[in-house]
Chains A and B, each alone.
Chain A
Amino acid sequence: MSLLEQRYRSVLRLLPASYRAEREEEMVDAFMELSGEVPDEANPRPRWGEIASVLSLSMRVRLGGAGASPRFVAWGEAVRLVALLGLGHQAVGSVIELLNWGHALAFGTHVAWTGPPGSLERLVSIAVSAAALCSAVAFVAIMRGHVRTAKITALIGVAPPLAYTVIPMLLVERPLSELATLVLTVAPVIALLMGFHSDVTPRRRSWTVTLSPAAVGLAVLGGTWLVVAVRPYDQDWPYLWLGFGTTILVWAAGAVVVLARRSSPSWALAMTATGLLLLAVRLPLLDNLPEGASWTMVCAQCAVLWVLSTALAWVGARGLPRASVAAAAETGPILREG
C-alpha cells in the first residue's frame, strides 16, 4: 500500500464505520485513480479540498443524510429537534420583548435600553433588541419549511449576543455563567446550520404549532405580572421561577411527557441536550446566592434538570438503533444491484 493510499484511508476514518464498510474500498479506488502514481519519496498527502469533502460527507452521514444508517438518522433528527426547541425558546423571549415594547408604547413607560436618548449607545441597544427578534422570524421560517431564511435570520439574531459576550470575554475575565448563556444561545443556531443540510426535506408544520411561542410568551408574561403582584415582600425565591425558571419548569414538564410516552430516541436525546444546556446556565447561580430558601430552590432546579436529563439520556441511548456494521449494511446505503 502506497503512502498516499495510507494517508487517504486515514482521512476516511472521519466517516462512520458503517459507512466505511460500505464505501471505503471504492472511494480509495476513485481517489487513487484521480491522484495517479505518486512515489512515496514525494511525501504525498491528500489535498485539503479532498479532506474537506470527506469531512462534509461525514457530517451529513452522521446527521442522517442520504445513505446514513438508522442510528445516524435518529441522531440527525435529535440535532434538528435541538434546533427547533432552542429557537422556540428564543422566539418566546422575542415575543416577551415585543410585548414589553408594546406595553411601554401604550402606557408611556420606560423601556430598559442603555445609553441616553439620541446617543450611539442607545442606537446600538435598539439595533441589538431588533436583531433578537430575528430569532422569532427564524423559528417561524424553519417551522414552515423555509430553511434558507431560517438560517440567515438565526445568524443575524445570534450575532449581537455573540459579539456582546465574546468581546468582553477576550478583554477581561468574565463569569462562567456568561459563557454558559452564550452556549445556550448559540447551540440551537449551530444545530440549525448543521442539522438541516441539503439531504433533509424540511417538514412544513401547522400554523398552530408555529405560533405556539406567542401563546407561551403571553402566558409567561401574564404569570410574571401575577407573581410580581402577589409576591410577599420578604421572599425572593418566587422570582427564581420567573424568566429562566419558567423555562426549566416547561422543560421539566416536556421531559416527563417524553419519558411517559416513550417517545422516539431522538426526542429523548434532544431533551437531554437541552436539559444539560439549561443546567450549565443555572448551576453557576449557586455560587452567587447566600444559603437560604433561594439557594435551596436553585439546588432543586439543578437536581430536577440533572435527574431528568440522565433518565432521558438512558432512554435515548437504549432506544437508538444498533450501531454494528452488519446492521448498517442491512439497512444502510440504498445501493443494491438493480
Chain B
Amino acid sequence: MNITEPMFLAMTALVDEPRHGYGIVQEVDRLSEGHVQLKIGTLYGVLDRLSAAGLVELDREEAQNGRLRRYYRLTDDGAEALRDEAARMAATAQAATARLRARMAGGAA
C-alpha cells in the first residue's frame, strides 16, 4: 500500500492516543508545523483507506452537542506499517543529507 503524506501524518497523529476527526486535523497541523491542513473530505478519504487496510480502527463513539463523535486508534498492523514507512523515509533523508554534505565539501575544496 502506498502511504501518502496525509496518511502518514494521520497515522502519526494516532500513535499516542485515539483521536476523533477534528483531533486528527489539529494534530496533523501541529506535526507538520502548519504545512498540511487536512480538509474534512480529505481526512475521511484517508480514514476510509487506512480502515480498509486494517491500519486504523474505531476506538469508541461519543455524543457531543447532539452529534456523533468517533475516535480512531492505530492498530498493531498500522504501527508496524508506520514504523516501516518512517524507516524508509529516514533512510531517504539520510541519503539526501549525505549527498548534500558531499556536494558542499566538493564546493569548498
Contacts and interface: CB of A to CB of B under 8 A. Distances in A.
Contact of B40 (A27, A67, A198): A27
Interface stretch (B9-17, B42-50, B84-92, B94-102): B42-50
A60 B44 CA distance: 11
Q: How large is the interface on A (under 10, 10 to 19, 20 to 34, 35 or more residues)?
A: 20 to 34
Interface string B11-29: 0000000001110010000
Contact of A50 (B41, B45, B52, B70): B41
A30 B42 CA distance: 12
B75 A338 contact: yes
A333 interface: yes
B93 interface: no
A88 to B, nearest CB: 26
A30 B39 CA distance: 10
B48 A26 contact: no
B89 to A, nearest CB: 19
A28 B67 contact: yes
A27 B42 CA distance: 11
Contacts of A42: none
A334 B21 contact: no
A172 interface: no
Contact of B45 (A29, A33, A49, A65): A65
Most chain B CB within 10 A, of A23, A26, A31, A337, is at A26
Contact of B22 (A33, A65, A199, A333): A33
A22 B54 CA distance: 18
A288 interface: no
Interface stretch (A51-59, A108-116, A245-253, A257-265): A51-59
Interface residues of B, number: 32
A55 B45 CA distance: 11
A50 to B, nearest CB: 5
Given A34-B25, A335-B51, A335-B57, A27 B44 contact: yes
Contacts of B39: 49-50, 52-53
Contact of A30 (B25, B52, B58): B25
Nearest to A28: B67
A275 B46 CA distance: 36
A30 B51 contact: no
Contact of A29 (B22, B53, B54, B60): B22
Contact of A66 (B22, B41, B52, B65): B52
A336 interface: yes
A25 interface: yes
Most chain A CB within 10 A, of B22, B43, B44, B65, is at B44
A198 B40 CA distance: 18
Nearest to B38: A53
Contact of A54 (B40, B68, B75): B40
Contact of B41 (A26, A57, A335, A338): A57
A29 B41 contact: no
A29 B21 contact: yes
Interface string A55-93: 111101100011100000000000000000000000000
Contacts of A55: 41
B14 to A, nearest CB: 13
B52 A67 contact: yes
B3 to A, nearest CB: 11
Contacts of A33: 21-22
Given A54-B41, A67-B51, A338 B57 contact: yes
6 contacts: A29-B69, A30-B43, A34-B22, A66-B45, A67-B52, A335-B51
Interface of A: 23, 25-34, 49-50, 52-58, 60-61, 65-67, 198-199, 333-338
Interface of B: 2, 4, 20-22, 25, 39-45, 47-49, 51-54, 57-60, 64-65, 67-70, 73, 75
